[in-house]
Amino acid sequence: MTLRFSVLASGSTGNAFYIESDREKILVDAGLSGKQLDRLFAEIQVNPAELSCILVTHEHSDHIKGLGIFARKYNLPIYANENTWKAMENAIGSISLDQKFMFGTGEVQTFSDIDVESFGVSHDAAEPMFFTFRHNRQKVALVTDLGYVSERIKKTVEDADAYIFEANHDVSMLRMGRYPWNVKRRILGDSGHVSNEDCGLALGDIISNRTKRIYLAHLSQDNNMKDLARMSVSNVLKERGIQLDLQDTDPKTATSLYEVV
């Protein structure tokens, strides 16, 4: 029995993450249209009608765009913390009471044979949180949409078999780019997004000998490139004597279903 997962979509235009065991199928975020989500599930040959639930990280549109329609179509329970529920209710449309569930920040909830731990992050949303997933001795950490990686977060996500970790921007590209300064300041700030270099520094602190897979996630389409992100993060890790292949994610194409071993 093992964990398997796919980064269905990752980036500023839409985010969705899928993880499964032999008994459980979980979607995290639904930041694309219902049609796009159906297509992405078809890419990895998973039937969304078999999903157990949807977990929500925060209310920004690139994480909840298709949440309401997808949950209604497949009659799926939605789990989010109280402040996220309040912030997103108007955006996702009518959800029946029997589909609404609370998942508080810092809690651990068990979904069949997967233990899911939520942890708060620094991001400009109502109460953003992300997750680690444990099954037997396996651990997968999903860590994006945060301005900085605190020691508390590092302790929560350290020593995982696989990471989906934010490498949002190259600082030089962002500073020289077309964004207005107030947007640049938000992205660079403590409640914005993690840069390539900061991603590498954080990963250097938390990965262990058991870590086999790292996906670079939530890349900015304007202020980053896949090759640049991989090179920048890899260089920081090499300075610490760490050599691991880094995997790309994409806003429109799902990664292959990866089996944690």
| Half-sphere exposure of residue 77: CA atoms within 13 angstroms, side-chain side | 10
Burial code (b: 16+ CB inside 10 Å, e: under 16) for 24-44 equals: bbbbbbbbbebebbbebbeeb
Token pair for 238: 């090499």
Cβ pair 131, 117 in contact under 8 A = yes
With vertex at residue 84, the alpha carbon angle to CA 78 and CA 87, rounded to the nearest 5 degrees, is 115
- In whole angstroms, give the CA distance from residue 119 to residue 105: 6
Q: Give this prediction's pTM.
A: 0.96
The one-digit pLDDT tens for each residue of the chain (261 residues) are 799 999 999 999 999 999 999 999 999 999 999 999 999 999 999 999 999 999 999 999 999 999 999 999 999 999 999 999 999 999 999 999 999 999 999 999 999 999 999 999 999 999 999 999 999 999 999 999 999 999 999 999 999 999 999 999 999 999 999 999 999 998 999 999 999 999 999 999 999 999 999 999 999 999 999 999 999 999 999 999 999 999 999 999 999 999 998
